[in-house]
């Protein structure tokens, strides 16, 4: 089976590509390496010394059949089409988007870039596949942030809500109402609408993975060889919250908790991202007229709880700061992850103590850390 991995050089894409290759897939990574460039332009490179894509691919040959093609899927639809024609994918996994909410809120240029890149890339993929009459199963990485973070409708179901219409008393199933909290999250809502249309009109099999915030850095494969090492971001724009707090607790930087820290969010470990992507890829929706949604999450915690846990482990100080974001100070969140669990997903949880692994990684590469990029510059 052939898997085309768009954005396979990134934080989630690289370990997921390796996991697919290790499980017998012929993998072609397509990436424009923009994440590496943005790092250098706005903040700092990955804390871990990730290798060039060429060196990564060379090392990955020991894991399985894996290659790389440089292409910007938003800006170069001609080259992208050539790749799709030549590769004839059975599965396309789509990670290739600008994925930072704070980055997307920095200013005019970042808002426009995020929308242009994410929406055009997704539409280019489906439009070209339509033109070529190819129908691979497309697995798209979405986010829990499309739902907003509240329990107004009870536990958040997987993409669809069963309701009774007041006026007609009819029971219907509707797409869960979207409620994005940033330009980045808005693009994921738009992606979802684009995919619903392509599924309905052209019969695509599509799975949208509404993923929680990813933590950790290594997987069982990336940890086997320094040349396969995964990226680790800790800066204010691209670092994900738990990874940032771990870095801060390790280097004696007061842990930055916004407001009361009462924001509840869903989390997943990077190893589970790779496993869930494979599970999802192997289980396309039976019904092709609507997008299958899985909430790709392991557990829900408040930011305050995470900081307190690290304080208890390391003694690090917590610095409550004015919240730079427009969001409720506290929220309740309950999320169903029944879909992936029914396929055999057994989540890694924080109780599994993997923060110790991250602490070890941070300590190993602490000499590369730039403290000046820890605070976020985005305000909204
Ligand atoms: N990291 C998280 O916590 C998280 C949580 C939920 C969802 N997601 C989603 O998972 C996906 C991957 O996230 P990540 O953390 O690995 O991000 P990342 O920035 O590390 O990886 C994205 C990759 O896509 C590439 N890319 C971006 N635009 C491209 C384009 N136009 N053409 C070709 N390649 C392009 C980048 O160079 C990068 O290698 C994203 O879509 C993101 O929204 C991530």
Which domain CATH number covers 166?
3.40.50.720
Q: Give the mean pLDDT of 307-315.
A: 93
Between 151 and 100, whose confidence is greater? 100
- Nearest one of 188, 183, 191, 190 to 325, comparing CA atoms: 183
Q: How far is the CA of 175 from the centre of ligand 1 (A)?
A: 24
- Answer yes or no: is 130 within a domain: yes
Q: Which domain holds residue 192?
A: 2-373
Q: What's residue 41's pLDDT?
A: 86
Instruction: Out of 122, 149, 188, 361, pick the active-site residue.
Output: 188
Instruction: Out of 147, 176, 184, 258, pick the active-site residue.
Output: 184
Q: How far is the CA of 92 from the centre of ligand 1 (A)?
A: 14
- Answer yes or no: is 379 within a domain: no
Residue 214 near ligand 1, beta carbon < 6 Å: yes
Can you tell me the distance from the alpha carbon of 360 to that of 91, in angstroms, rounded to the nearest whole number? 35
**pLDDT at position 43 over 80:** no
pLDDT tier, 365 (very low <50, low <70, confident <90, very high otherwise): very high
Q: What's residue 242's pLDDT?
A: 95
The secondary structure of the chain, three-state, reads: CEEEEECCCCCCHHHHHHHHHHCCCEEEEEECCHHHHHHHHHCCCCCCCCCCHHHHHHHHCCCCCEEEEECCCCCCHHHHHHHHHHHCCCEEEECCCCCCHHHHCCCHHHHHHHHHHHHHHHHHHHHHHHHHCCCCEEEEEEEHHHHCCCCCCCCECCCEEEEECCCCCCEEEEECCCCCCCHHHHHHHHHHHHHHHHHHHHCCCEEEEEECEEECCCCCCHHHCHHHCCCCCCCCCCCCHHHHHHHHHHHCCCEEEECCCECEEEEEEHHHHHHHHHHHHCCCCCCCCCCEEEEECCEEEEHHHHHHHHHHHHCCCEEEECCCCCCCCECCCCECCHHHHHCCCCCCCHHHCCHHHHHHHHHHHHHHCCHHHCCCCCCC
Q: Give the mean pLDDT of 81-88.
A: 98
Q: Which residue has a Cα nearest atom 11 of ligand 1?
A: 95
Residue 123 near ligand 1, beta carbon < 6 Å: no
Between the CA of residue 177 and those of 146, 157, 352, what are the distances in Å? 9, 11, 34
**pLDDT at position 204 over 80:** yes
pLDDT tier, 29 (very low <50, low <70, confident <90, very high otherwise): very high
Residue 83 near ligand 1, beta carbon < 6 Å: no
Q: Is 2 left (phi over 0), alpha (psi -120 to 50) or beta?
A: beta
147 flagged as catalytic: no
Q: Give the mean pLDDT of 149-155.
A: 92
pLDDT in tens, 277-305: 999 999 999 988 899 999 999 999 999 99
The pair of structure tokens assigned to 325 is: 């974001």
Residue 117 near ligand 1, beta carbon < 6 Å: yes
The pair of structure tokens assigned to 135 is: 């129908």
Indicate the pTM of the whole model: 0.97
41 flagged as catalytic: no
Q: What's residue 351's pLDDT?
A: 83
Q: What's residue 279's pLDDT?
A: 98
122 flagged as catalytic: no
Atom of ligand 1 nearest to the CA of 140: 41
Q: How far is the CA of 5 from the centre of ligand 1 (A)?
A: 11
pLDDT tier, 42 (very low <50, low <70, confident <90, very high otherwise): confident
**pLDDT at position 353 over 80:** no
Q: Give the mean pLDDT of 158-172.
A: 98
Can you tell me the distance from the alpha carbon of 13 to that of 274, in angstroms, rounded to the nearest whole number? 8
Task: Note whether 249 and 314 are within 8 A (CB).
Answer: yes
Instruction: Out of 143, 217, 219, 355, pick the active-site residue.
Output: 143
pLDDT tier, 44 (very low <50, low <70, confident <90, very high otherwise): confident
- Answer yes or no: is 243 within a domain: yes
Atom of ligand 1 nearest to the CA of 75: 31
Atom of ligand 1 nearest to the CA of 184: 43
- Answer yes or no: is 242 within a domain: yes
Atom of ligand 1 nearest to the CA of 296: 6
Q: Which residue has the tokens 């869930």?
A: 276
- Answer yes or no: is 143 within a domain: yes
The pair of structure tokens assigned to 228 is: 């396969």
- Answer yes or no: is 347 within a domain: yes
Q: How far is the CA of 141 from the centre of ligand 1 (A)?
A: 8
- Answer yes or no: is 380 within a domain: no
Residue 95 near ligand 1, beta carbon < 6 Å: yes
Q: Which residue has the tokens 């199963």?
A: 137
The pair of structure tokens assigned to 99 is: 């994925």
Q: How far is the CA of 35 from the centre of ligand 1 (A)?
A: 8
Question: Considering its fold, how many domains does the chain have in total?
Answer: 1
Q: Computed from CA positions of residues 202, 205, 210, 211, in that sequence, does the dihedral angle turn out positive or negative?
A: negative
Can you tell me the distance from the alpha carbon of 271 to that of 275, in angstroms, rounded to the nearest whole number? 6
Residue 268 near ligand 1, beta carbon < 6 Å: no
pLDDT tier, 318 (very low <50, low <70, confident <90, very high otherwise): very high
Q: How far is the CA of 292 from the centre of ligand 1 (A)?
A: 20
pLDDT tier, 227 (very low <50, low <70, confident <90, very high otherwise): very high
- Answer yes or no: is 83 within a domain: yes
Q: What's residue 12's pLDDT?
A: 98
């Amino acid at each position: 089976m052939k898997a085309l991995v768009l954005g396979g050089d990134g934080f989630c894409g690289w370990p997921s590509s390796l996991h697919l290759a290790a499980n017998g897939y012929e993998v072609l990574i397509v990436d424009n390496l923009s994440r590496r460039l943005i790092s250098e332009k706005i903040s700092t490179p990955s804390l871990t010394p990730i290798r060039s894509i060429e060196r990564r691919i060379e090392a990955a040959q020991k894991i399985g059949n894996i290659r790389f093609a440089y292409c910007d899927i938003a800006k170069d639809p001609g080259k992208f089409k050539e790749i799709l024609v030549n590769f004839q994918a059975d599965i396309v996994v789509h990670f290739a988007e600008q994925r930072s909410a704070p980055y997307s809120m920095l200013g005019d240029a970042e808002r426009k870039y995020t929308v242009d890149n994410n929406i055009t890339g997704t539409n280019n993929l489906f439009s070209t596949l339509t033109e070529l009459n190819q129908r691979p199963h497309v697995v798209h990485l979405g986010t829990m942030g499309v739902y907003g973070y509240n329990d107004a409708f009870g536990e958040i179901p997987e993409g669809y809500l069963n309701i009774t219409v007041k006026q007609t008393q009819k029971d219907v199933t509707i797409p869960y109402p979207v409620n994005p909290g940033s330009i980045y999250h808005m693009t994921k809502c738009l992606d979802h609408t684009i995919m619903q249309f392509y599924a309905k009109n052209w019969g695509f099999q599509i799975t949208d993975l509404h993923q929680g915030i990813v933590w950790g850095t290594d997987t069982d494969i990336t940890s086997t060889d320094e040349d396969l090492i995964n990226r680790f971001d800790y800066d204010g724009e691209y670092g994900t919250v738990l990874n940032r707090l771990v870095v801060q607790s390790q280097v004696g930087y007061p842990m930055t908790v916004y407001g009361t820290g009462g924001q509840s969010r869903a989390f997943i470990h990077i190893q589970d991202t790779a496993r869930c992507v494979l599970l999802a890829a192997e289980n396309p929706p039976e019904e092709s007229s609507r997008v299958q949604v899985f909430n790709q999450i392991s557990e829900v915690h408040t930011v305050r709880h995470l900081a307190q846990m690290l304080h208890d482990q390391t003694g690090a100080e917590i610095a409550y700061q004015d919240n730079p974001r427009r969001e409720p100070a506290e929220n309740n969140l309950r999320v169903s992850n029944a879909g992936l669990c029914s396929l055999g997903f057994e989540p890694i949880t924080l109780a599994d103590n993997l923060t110790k692994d991250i602490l070890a990684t941070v300590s190993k590469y602490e000499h590369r850390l730039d403290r000046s990029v820890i605070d976020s510059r985005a305000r909204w």
